[in-house]
Structures are given as C-alpha cells and as structure tokens.
Amino acid sequence: MDIPILFRDARFVVLDKPAGLPVHPGPRGGSSVEDAFARLSRRRDGPWLAHRLDADTAGCLVVALRRSALRAAQTAFASGAAEKTYWAVVAPAPEADSGHVAVALRKVSDRSGWRMCADTAGVPAITDWRVLGRGEGTAWLELHPRTGRTHQVRAHCAWLGCPVVGDAVYGEGGGPLQLLARAIRLPLDPPLAATAPVPPHMRAALVGCGWRTVSPAGTTAGT
C-alpha cells in the first residue's frame, strides 16, 4: 500500500491518510493503514499509531517508529500540547465568524449504531473555530480541537448547527465527508510538523467557499 508521506525522521512518519481508509482492519477484514506498516520500518517491534483518525477523514496521521517516540507523542496528545488543525466544509454556515465550543461528549448507542452526543455527564471536549471563507449556504472552517475525543470535530460542528458536509452520522450525508486533518505539530525535541494537501474530493467544495487552487504567488494552495 502506497500512502503519501508528509514527514519522516528516525522517530516518526506522518502519513497523508486518504479518506475512506480505516486505520485498523475491521471485523470483516479489508485494507487499513496498518497494511502499510511493513514498508515504514524493518524493526521487529512497531510501528504504532500515535493517535486515530476516522475512516472518512483525510489528512495527517502520526505513526511512531520507536517506543520512546510513541510515549512522547501520546503524552503530547493527552496533555493537550499537540497542535491539531482541521479544515471542514459545513452547511448551513454559522452566523458568527469565529467561536469556542466547550461541550462535553458522551457515546450513545442504539440499533442504528453509535454517535457522540452533547451531555454534561460526558467527557470534556473543547474546540476553537473560525470561518476562512463562505459559499452559497456553506462555510469553510478552520478548527483547532484542544482535546482529542472521538468524533469531536464532527460532533461539535453538529452542535453548532452546521454539520460537516457529507456526514451521514451527524448530518444528512449525501457524499464524501468534507473533513481534512490539515496540519499537526508536536512540540518535541526536535519538533514534528506536517501539513496535508487538500484531497481531490474536497477541492470543489472549498473553491465554492473562496479557496483557490493557485495562490497569487503561483504556488498550489493545497500543498
């Protein structure tokens, strides 16, 4: 499996995970990010996923190549020191241009499956967001989750009343999920930093919100 690499050193690899690819094999089997591990390291132990992304979310995924690196990354994520940036196209657009969501989330299951719901008895979850562009009933958001709860960005967008376009769990579905783990930075020594390009399935929706594939300087905006 050939997954693009955004960053690599002796400690970590940051993969540009494609949308639709789960990080772990499911109960029915099938391809996953872990299929690529044999190409990332020849060590007898590892690699290990340092965190998770939803199967339908594209972008930066950190893989540790050494146990010491795994522990350092897990500490950064658990303490909130990891700097995570997401891009999302949402509909409808929020009225405000920026905001802060501090809404606890709890996992709820029923016959149709499971989802994260706002609940004061849940685990604390905090997300900062701002509008980068607006379209016809849509908006391009930059989101910075300060905690790492399952489905946090998706659930908080839905709580705002503007679910991520294509989200069949928290919105109306109807197409691919318009959510990108745009960038990641871990304040280690030396630091880890990577930025993912805009995937093809998000380009049209972002262009509709003002994103341009070519910047005034002549460089590609998604790289």
**Catalytic residue list contains 110:** no
Question: Which entry of 16, 35, 54, 119 is annotated as an active-site residue?
Answer: 54
Peptide bond into 200 cis (omega under 30): no
Q: How far is CA 36 from CA 13, 16, 57, 124, in A?
A: 11, 12, 18, 33
Specify whether the CB–CB gap between 101 and 159 falls below 8 A: yes
How many degrees, rounded to 5, is the angle at CA 167 between CA 94 and CA 32?
A: 135
Q: How far is CA 110 from CA 71, 107, 113, 115, 168, in A?
A: 35, 10, 5, 9, 15
Q: Max Cα separation, the chain?
A: 53
- By C-alpha distance, which of 9, 6, 74 is closest to 41? 9
- By C-alpha distance, which of 139, 129, 141, 130 is closest to 208? 139
Residues taking part in catalysis: 54
